[in-house]
Structure 1
Amino acid sequence: MKRVFCVGELLIDWVCTEHGVSLAEGSRFEKKAGGAPANVAAAVARLGGEAVFMGRVGEDPFGDFLVNTLRKERVDVSMIDRGGSTTFAFVSLKADGERDFVFCRGADGEYSLDRIDLSRLRSGDILHFGSATAWLPGELRVTVFQLLSIARDRGMFISFDPNHRDALIHDLESFRRDCLHFLEHARFVKMSEEEAMLVSGVKDPMVAVNVLMRHGPDVLCVTMGASGTLLATRERMELVPSVRVKQVDSTGAGDAFVGAMLYRFAGEERLEEALGHHGKLAEFVRFANRAGAAACTGYGAIASLPTLEQVLSL
């Protein structure tokens, strides 16, 4: 099985446990491990794959907590750099249903290429870019663009999920340009329906997919919640139905979907052949839809990630 490397942020989510209050009003917060690429690495490992997380956390107790969280999930943490203070994100759900969000950036933004053992990045392995904070100014931004070039030159399988966050991304035109650059080199791209329309500049999801596919990915998956996942390949486009479950918390469902897709890519002996076979890829998406649905049946992004047995039981 191929190794799956995930690069980006690993941080502390301080989630307000009081409902219907702003951060100014909230007084009780629960500490959670956060960061989309870290969630994807944990999802791959939970299914039985080999995942490596690449990022930076603080040289503090919060960094210890995050590293230990991934280690318990059997994620390879040897490429995590330490230093400074761990990044925090504070979030609450206000009475009007809107999120109140404050981001306190720390160590994740200082992940530098000169601290990475590049010899571990080899042809055939998978490198997943899924960082919401990678687009922010800082060393991490420089690093991910350098890693994209290295991965392309070494023949790695490149995966990309833009993870757009309104509270973090203010220059939408710059965000769109960055996404299109990654689309040109990625073999697999996952987007939400909103991200597909934002990056393509088209309001119709079906037309948006056609626009995005012209930029080069072999496989594009646009997740559309209960409606299913729109799978686009060089052959055709297909809406793969979602799986109905009793939803408890959708946090991390998208990362579970991505992790499940990468797990299937990593385990495919004839990957190039599979990438040219729409029916095979549709089966991968059905598997990933089940993983995303299973993740909605529990609380917490990492805690609710399904095992292979749980996915197959749906």
Structure 2
Amino acid sequence: MSEFLTIGEPLALFASTDTDQSLVDATHFQKFAAGAELNVSIGVSRLGHQTQYITRLGQDPLGDFIKKQLQSAGVGISYIDQTSAYWTGFQMKERVSQGDPQTHYFRSGSAAAHIDSSQITKIDLNDVKFFHYTGIFPAISQQALLATQSLISRVQAKRGVKLTFDPNLRPSLWPSKEIMIETINQLAFQADVVLPGIHEAEQLTGLSDLNQMADFYFDHSQRTELVIIKLGAKGAFVKERNGNVLHVNGYKVNQIVDTVGAGDGFTTGFITGCLDGLSLEEAVRRGNAIGALAIQSAGDNDGYPTIDELRQYQKSSA
């Protein structure tokens, strides 16, 4: 049915095309499908792997748009439910020439926040090799958190499936910083692979040393076997439970268009590298490459490559 499975909230993104203008003054926008888990599912599909995306959308134009975008990207939609009772979330984002863009979310009370737990029991796990989840979806509602935990339990009971977790911290979605850190870490402890960014790892562990950050997850979880800390332009720090450590350099980028989607691009590269039988180092290197490609494009996932485009980029950037 699918090699890759994820659960999340997809959003319709209205991205300003007016560079360095506030959302108040911008008048031109381009519409994209966005969301951390959606980005990864599209990236994995684009690299030739079967995917399924679990979510709930509104029966509205934005929900239909997202569903159509997923279908056109080859992402499986067998587990997408649509409802007339709630609406599809969306966001608006500035376009900036430097720094991070200002983004405003309109997602409170969305259809995804009211996900039906019965959806989880219908999921076929027979061919799944990777289940990816993040800290965003569990933050949008208690129902979303319970659905995520239920799915984690189901996947853990299925032998041969790797669980990957990206904290993707969104403090504004949580009641407090303390609740965010506690809940995110509990979700991380249930994963085989934990994929925080450097600043996320600092917040979640309270530590500053890369080795100690990785050990924090090994010490708190019998399941976690690999911690990969994303370092932006510097690449990635990798530590295995057995103590093996790698530092895989990043790719030089001449022009940054939009930094959003880089972390999801890294996850895409790492997971597909594993699915394609690459070594750990080469899978991480692929992650760095797709992260670099992501920030050279305006959409959150527009820069994610096909396998031929990826090979060409890695060859030309060697």
Q: Same fold (TM over 0.5)?
A: yes
CA 1:236–1:62 in structure 2 vs 1: closer, same or farther (change >3 Å)? same
Deviation at 1:302, TM superposition (A): 2.2
| 1:266 to partner: Cα distance | 2.9
Distance 1:290 1:52, change over 3 A: same
Deviation at 1:141, TM superposition (A): 1.7
Consecutive unaligned residues in structure 1, runs of 5 or more = 269-273, 275-279
| 186-195 vs 246-255, which moves further | 246-255
What's the C-alpha RMSD, in Å, of the aligned pairs? Answer: 2.4
Rounded to whole Å, the distance in 1 between the matches of 2:96 and 2:282 is: 39
The answer to whether the aligner puts 1:71 opposite 2:92 as a matched pair is: no
* Counterpart position of 1:56: 56
* 1:101 matched residue in structure 2: 103
**Deviation string for 1:79-110 (max 9, x for gaps)?**
11111211011233689956433322211211
Partner in structure 1 of residue 254 of structure 2: 246
**Kept in 2: contact 1:33–1:69 (CA 8 A):** yes
In the aligned structure 1, how far is the partner of 2:214 from the partner of 2:123? 36
| Residues 1:96 and 1:39: Cα distance change in structure 2 (over 3 Å) | closer
Q: For 2:206 and 2:173, how far apart are their aligned partners in 1? A: 20
Does residue 111 of the first structure (1) align with residue 120 of the second (2)? no
Instruction: Choose from 84, 87, 91 the match for 1:85.
Output: 87
Shift of 1:136: 2.7
Q: What is the TM-score normalised by the length of structure 2?
A: 0.87
TM-score (norm 1): 0.88
Task: Return the letter of the residue paired with 1:310.
Answer: E
What SS class does the counterpart of residue 14 from structure 1 fall into?
A: strand
Q: Which of 233, 257, 275 lines up with 2:240 in the alignment?
A: 233
Aligned letter for 1:86? Answer: T
For the residues of structure 2 that align with 1:289 and 1:171, how far apart are their CA atoms? 32
Give the CA deviation at 1:149. 1.4
1:134 partner letter: P
**Residues 19 and 95 in structure 1, CA contact (< 8 A), matched pair in contact too:** yes
Read off the aligned partner of 1:256 and give its amino acid letter.
Answer: G
Of 122, 133, 136, the match for 2:140: 136
Report deviation, 1:120: 0.4
Structure 1 match to 2:30: 30
Distance 1:14 1:112, change over 3 A: same
Deviations 1:284-307 (A, max 9, x none): 111221222222333212221111
C-alpha distance 168-41 of structure 1, shift in aligned 2 (>3 A) = same
Residue 86 of structure 1: SS of its match in structure 2?
coil
Distance in structure 2 (CA, Å) of the matches to 1:97 and 1:257: 20
Q: What residue number does 1:271 align with? A: none
Paired residue secondary structure (2:204): helix
Identity of aligned residues (%): 26
Contact 1:86 1:107 in 2 (8 A): yes
Please give the alpha-carbon distance, in whole angstroms, between the structure 1 residues aligned to 2:66 and 2:97.
30
Distance 2:258 2:99 in 1: 15
- 1:30 deviation in Å? 2.4
Hey, what does 1:39 align to over in structure 2? 39
CA contact (8 A) 1:11 1:108 kept: no
Question: Please, which of 244, 259, 262 is the counterpart of residue 271 of structure 2?
Answer: 262
CA–CA distance in structure 1, aligned partners of residues 298 and 179 of structure 2: 34
253-262 vs 162-171, greater mean Cα deviation: 162-171
Tell me if the contact between 1:36 and 1:131 (Cα under 8 Å) persists in the aligned partners. no
Where does the alignment leave 5 or more consecutive residues of structure 2 unmatched? Answer: none
